[in-house]
Amino acid sequence: MTEMVYGSMPARVSEPVLPRWWRTIDKWSMTAVLALFGIGILLGLAASVPLATRNGLEPFYYVQRQAFFGGLAMLAMLGCSMLSPAMVRRLGVAGFLVAFLALAALPVFGTDFGKGAVRWFSLGFASVQPSEFLKPGFIILTAWLMAASQEVNGPPGRSLSFAIAIVITGFLALQPDFGQAMLVLFGWGVVYFVGGAPFALIAVVLALVGGAGFVAYNGSEHFARRIDGFLSPDLDPRTQLGYATNAIQEGGFFGVGVGEGQVKWSLPDAHTDFIIAVAAEEYGLILVLCIIGLYATVVVRSLLRLTHERDPFIRLSGAGLACIFGVQAMINMGVAVRLLPAKGMTLPFVSYGGSSVIAAGITVGMLLAMTRTRPQGQMSDILFQRGR
């Protein structure tokens, strides 16, 4: 009684942050992401040495850089995953605004590093690719607008988010960066699809995407050459794809052995776009299947967990984040095995690249925040016979 009166009973207003986080987080997905990051460092030990040699740096310079940025990315991921969905929404939308301004400023302040596309801000010690950070923010914003539009008397979220998507796509196409533009459109499409797009409209959107592809094919020589290369049945062994295919064949089941691979010396993008070829050559099909399995784990588990989610915003943003994460990995690996036309796209967490890995950390962190276990009102369903 005394304790009751004087309040010496521990007043558990709410559970502490960390235990609750640990209790509710999707530990399998998080483990898979950590494993992917580990594999990325492991492959970087092999794949980035030629680049460091070419640039006259010490052999593992890029591994150290990647470990540093990767560490930041892991911190970002853990930090994001601890946020509440409402906080994710606020930070995501704010981040989107910053990234969008950065993207819009690219034509003025950006640099192309001699690669023919103005995608980066050079900060001296590192470079930032705003489009990488734009994607998760854009998904959050889209999910927010879509969810709001589902409310009774809600805003016209679909049209608004679609207009934003078109504007972003336009900026990305200006760089040109059709890969990121496609990802943005794809992410919007996923959110809209999960949010209840009519199937007829989906067909129309697919047709529009096809038309845009056709225009890009005819308008951009860079784009047309890649598509032509994909459609041609012959494989020129001196192209990146030729080397990549050869490397996968060389690797076989168990690879040629750690450090024994040759493809990393021939491929200029061995440490980014074609890192899966390095993995296949040195560690064989086993590691490649592991990598594919890890990505599939993250994406499919997240989507399955989201099916129980009642909050439309959480559901939509989670689905969008999981899908852009998964589709990026899918495109990267699909290109290496010639299932898809050549398109420069990094393999999240595995490829070298500071912007890429940090953005991937933020994306997955937000995703983990969305897929955390929450009370979903099952009891009220049972008690009040609602929600049937």
Binding stretches for another protein (CB under 8 A): 150-152, 190, 193-196, 232, 234-238, 242, 245-246, 248-253, 280, 284-285, 288-289, 292-293, 295-296, 299-300, 303-304, 306-307, 310, 312, 315-316, 319, 323, 326-327, 330, 333-334, 337-339, 386-388
Instruction: Quote the least distance from Cβ 8 to another protein, whole Å.
Output: 40
Give the 3-state secondary structure of residue 175. coil
Q: Are 276 and 295 in contact (CB under 8 A)?
A: no
Nearer to another protein, 197 or 212 (CB): 197
Nearer to another protein, 85 or 312 (CB): 312
Cα separation of 40 and 156, whole Å?
42
Instruction: Quote the least distance from Cβ 294 to another protein, whole Å.
Output: 10
Nearer to another protein, 250 or 273 (CB): 250
Nearer to another protein, 97 or 258 (CB): 258
The single-letter DSSP state of residue 233 is: S
Nearer to another protein, 227 or 285 (CB): 285
Instruction: Quote the least distance from Cβ 205 to another protein, whole Å.
Output: 15
Helix (H) or strand (E) holding 332: helix 312-336
Cα separation of 247 and 277, whole Å?
6
Nearer to another protein, 109 or 254 (CB): 254
Instruction: Quote the least distance from Cβ 45 to another protein, whole Å.
Output: 22
Which segments of 195-239 does DSSP mark as H helices, in order?
199-219, 221-231
Nearer to another protein, 25 or 248 (CB): 248
Listed residue (32, 56, 54, 52) closest to 44, CA to CA:
52
Nearer to another protein, 100 or 283 (CB): 283
Cα separation of 312 and 314, whole Å?
6
Instruction: Quote the least distance from Cβ 99 to another protein, whole Å.
Output: 25
- Which stretches of 96-190 are assigned E, i.e. beta strand? 121-122, 127-128
Instruction: Tell which phi-psi region holds residue 56, choosing left (phi > 0), alpha (psi between -120 and 50) or beta.
Output: left
Instruction: Quote the least distance from Cβ 245 to another protein, whole Å.
Output: 6
Nearer to another protein, 120 or 188 (CB): 188
Listed residue (123, 132, 117, 336) closest to 243, CA to CA:
336
Q: Are 133 and 99 in contact (CB under 8 A)?
A: yes
Q: Token pair of 24, please?
A: 């509710």
CA angle 14, 73, 137 (to 5 degrees): 75
> In sequence order, which residues have a C-beta less than 8 Å from that of residue 30 and are 6 or more positions away?
81, 368
Q: Are 102 and 130 in contact (CB under 8 A)?
A: yes
Instruction: Quote the least distance from Cβ 320 to another protein, whole Å.
Output: 10
Cα separation of 178 and 252, whole Å?
33
Instruction: Quote the least distance from Cβ 187 to another protein, whole Å.
Output: 12
Instruction: Quote the least distance from Cβ 125 to another protein, whole Å.
Output: 35
* CA 147 to chain CA centroid, nearest Å: 22
Nearer to another protein, 145 or 306 (CB): 306
- Which stretches of 119-197 are assigned E, i.e. beta strand? 121-122, 127-128
Instruction: Quote the least distance from Cβ 385 to another protein, whole Å.
Output: 12
Give the 3-state secondary structure of residue 128. strand
